[in-house]
Structure 1
Amino acid sequence: MDLNQITIQSKSTVLDALNKLNQIRQISRLILFVKDEENKIIGSITDGDIRRSLSLDQDLNKSVEEICYKNFIHHIENNGFIDLSAYRDKNIKILPVLNINGTLSRVFDLDIIKSTLPLECMIMAGGRGKRLSPLTDTIPKPMLPLGGKPIIEHNIDRLISYGIKKIYISVKYLGEQLENYFGDGSSKGISIEYIWEDEPLGTAGALKLVDKFNTDHVLLMNSDLFTSVNFEEMYLLLLQEKADMVVASTEYKVDVPYAVFETDDNIVTDFKEKPSYIYQSNAGIYILKKSLIDQMTKNEYCDITDVMEKLVADGGKLVFDPILGFWIDIGKPSDYKQAQEFIKHKL
């Protein structure tokens, strides 16, 4: 977001503010932040403030400094996690973040942004997608269209809505198509870097090809998921439990079509007629400590399940967070068709 579009000098007139408010396109509310000669933010002004002023004296030449709201709610920049729920509870819609010197650092539109997670992310997008052939003979699976945009773009847009600004995409099969489509990510206001696997490295091996992650935790996810996963909930659970890794999970139900015996040796002590069992299964989304990546060997095949098994064996802490919304793993034609039908009802 260009901050100049939502700031105005304190000596500007009410008429100037009206003209500038009419040009706002990048946020969901008509609001300007008033800055003094040193660019420090001294107040906010909305169309409501202007209406109230004009109802008193009809003076369009009055300075905005005279009518702006000086007790506006704001957050002081710390480059870390911001609990936006506290501001939502106060019915704040636009949250300005100020530097320690009072200048404007960034602005959160709380109708759009869900969180501000201090995470970098890697999306695994190098697979061949053979089960979706012939659809994937000329298009990589993550680029298959879903509701007007590629599958992977749904995931990228969701990551952005949680405040994630740096995304690595691991590519191999037809990876040039992803590079050409997303570029460096600047069109979405983020940074995208492509990690090329010369040889398949598993579902975690590409993490080691990144020179340096700049966050203490890293989010890893598959590219072929269509899901409403709550990344913030996962992150907060990780911190709350002081865990080394959290994995998103989805319910997997097993229906047994026969009676199941409970036994003591060959004696039946009880039985259940056609029971159903529900298990939590791996949903292909993880947040892990960067230190776990440090333990991996570069250019060596490694699945994320290998990392999980070693973590548990070494006495580390692995927790799971159930996805309460929807989750579709688009691995075969029936999955793709299900996602296509499902999204029709969401758009």
Structure 2
Amino acid sequence: MNVEDITIHQDDTIVHALSKLNNIRHISRLILFVVNNQNKVIGSLTDGDIRRSLIEDNNVHKSVGEVCNKDFVFEYIQDSFLNLDEYRKKDIKVLPLLDDARNLKDIIDLEKTKAVLPLECMIMAGGRGKRLSPLTDEIPKPLLPLGNKPIMEHNIDSLISYGIKKMYISVKYRGEKIQEYFGDGSSKGIQIEYVWEDEPLGTAGALSLVENFSRNNILLMNGDLFTNINFEDLYTSFVNSHADMAVASTEYKIDVPYAVFEAEGNQVKNFKEKPSYRYHSNAGIYILKKSLIKKIPKNQFYDITDLMKDLIENKGKLFHNPIVGYWIDIGKPEDYKQAQEFIKHS
């Protein structure tokens, strides 16, 4: 949203404010921010503020500077994590973000935004998806439809809801279709840059092609996942554990249909009847320190698991954080069918 659409000069009238409020779309509360001659925000104005003024004197020509709420809640633009819970407790629906001169730079719609995470994201979307052929013969796997939009759009919309507005998409196979579909991201209020792989670079190699990430921590994820992961939980786990990298994990269960022996040589000491084993496995979503990218060879095939091994061998901190919710890796036709059935009932 253009901030000019939700700002109004202090000398404008209530009539003008009502007209402007009536044209607001796509935010959860009808609200304007009142500015002075220096474009400094001096207050907020809602339909409730106008209604109370009209009840008082029925003067629609009163200036909005007289009736606005000068004790409004705001935050300054910052690069650090912003916890939105305290604002939700105050029943705030729209939080303005101001610069040091108190000019309006952006807003946070708390009905649509779950968190504001200081992360940039790279989405890996260059794979061929052979196992899903013929569906992927003309369409890249991340653009396969899932409900009313492509697989990867579910992920991008989820990332946006966590306040992530700068994304890189690594592309190769049918990458022009992905670029055509999402464009530069402006239609969603974000920035998207494309990283083209001349040759397959694995699950982390494309990170080496970005000249300069502006954030200290980078979110990396596969573009063919269908999940409702809580990115805020993953981020806070990463920060609080002082990790070099955090990996989202999913539980993998193996049911053995027979008795399993515990033996010394051929002598059975004990056995478990039809045991189940549970493991935490890699879910294809990572947060890593930007400094780790220097370890990735430039424009060479390199998997994220290579970086994980390097961390472990050099006594770095690698943590995992279980996903609480659903997670489907859409690699095979049965996975895609499962995701299609799931979304019908979600």
Deviates more, 1:76-85 or 1:298-307: 76-85
Instruction: Report matched runs for 1:131-150 at 5 Å.
Output: 131-150=131-150
What TM-score do you get using the length of structure 1 for normalisation?
0.96
Per-residue CA deviations over 1:276-321 (Å, capped at 9, x if unaligned) read: 1111110000011111111111122111111101101100000111
Identify the residue that residue 155 of structure 2 maps to in structure 1. Answer: 155
The alpha carbon displacement at 1:31 in A equals 0.9
Matched to 1:335, the amino acid is: D
The alpha carbon displacement at 1:261 in A equals 3.1
1:232 paired to 2:232: yes
Cα distance in 1 between the residues matched to 2:62 and 2:199: 67
The alpha carbon displacement at 1:63 in A equals 1.4
Deviates more, 1:326-335 or 1:163-172: 163-172
Where 1:137 maps in the other structure, the secondary structure is coil
Identify the residue that residue 253 of structure 2 maps to in structure 1. Answer: 253
Identify the residue that residue 216 of structure 2 maps to in structure 1. Answer: 216
Cα distance in 2 between the residues matched to 1:211 and 1:326: 34
Identify the residue that residue 182 of structure 2 maps to in structure 1. Answer: 182
Cα distance in 1 between the residues matched to 2:303 and 2:47: 54
Per-residue CA deviations over 1:67-117 (Å, capped at 9, x if unaligned) read: 111111111222332111221222211101111122212110000112221
Identify the residue that residue 289 of structure 1 maps to in structure 2. Answer: 289
The alpha carbon displacement at 1:272 in A equals 2.4
Cα distance in 2 between the residues matched to 1:201 and 1:39: 48
Q: RMSD of aligned C-alpha atoms?
A: 1.3
1:83 paired to 2:122: no
Cα distance in 2 between the residues matched to 1:77 and 1:143: 34
1:192 paired to 2:192: yes
Identify the residue that residue 304 of structure 1 maps to in structure 2. Answer: 304
**What residue ranges of structure 2 are gaps of 5+ in the alignment?**
none
What TM-score do you get using the length of structure 2 for normalisation?
0.97
Identify the residue that residue 345 of structure 1 maps to in structure 2. Answer: 345
Cα distance in 1 between the residues matched to 2:201 and 2:99: 42
Matched to 2:301, the amino acid is: Y
Cα distance in 2 between the residues matched to 1:270 and 1:62: 86
1:92 paired to 2:92: yes
Identify the residue that residue 117 of structure 1 maps to in structure 2. Answer: 117
Cα distance in 1 between the residues matched to 2:8 and 2:124: 43
The alpha carbon displacement at 1:257 in A equals 0.9
Identify the residue that residue 171 of structure 2 maps to in structure 1. Answer: 171
Identify the residue that residue 35 of structure 2 maps to in structure 1. Answer: 35
Matched to 1:25, the amino acid is: R
Closer/same/farther in 2, CA of residues 189 and 160 from structure 1, 3 Å limit = same
Where 2:56 maps in the other structure, the secondary structure is helix
Matched to 1:167, the amino acid is: M
Identify the residue that residue 64 of structure 2 maps to in structure 1. Answer: 64
Cα distance in 2 between the residues matched to 1:14 and 1:197: 55
Matched to 1:11, the amino acid is: D
The alpha carbon displacement at 1:322 in A equals 0.8
**What residue ranges of structure 1 are gaps of 5+ in the alignment?**
none
Matched to 1:344, the amino acid is: K
Where 2:293 maps in the other structure, the secondary structure is helix
- Identity percentage of aligned residues: 64
Per-residue CA deviations over 1:191-227 (Å, capped at 9, x if unaligned) read: 2111111111111111111111111111111010011
Matched to 2:323, the amino acid is: I
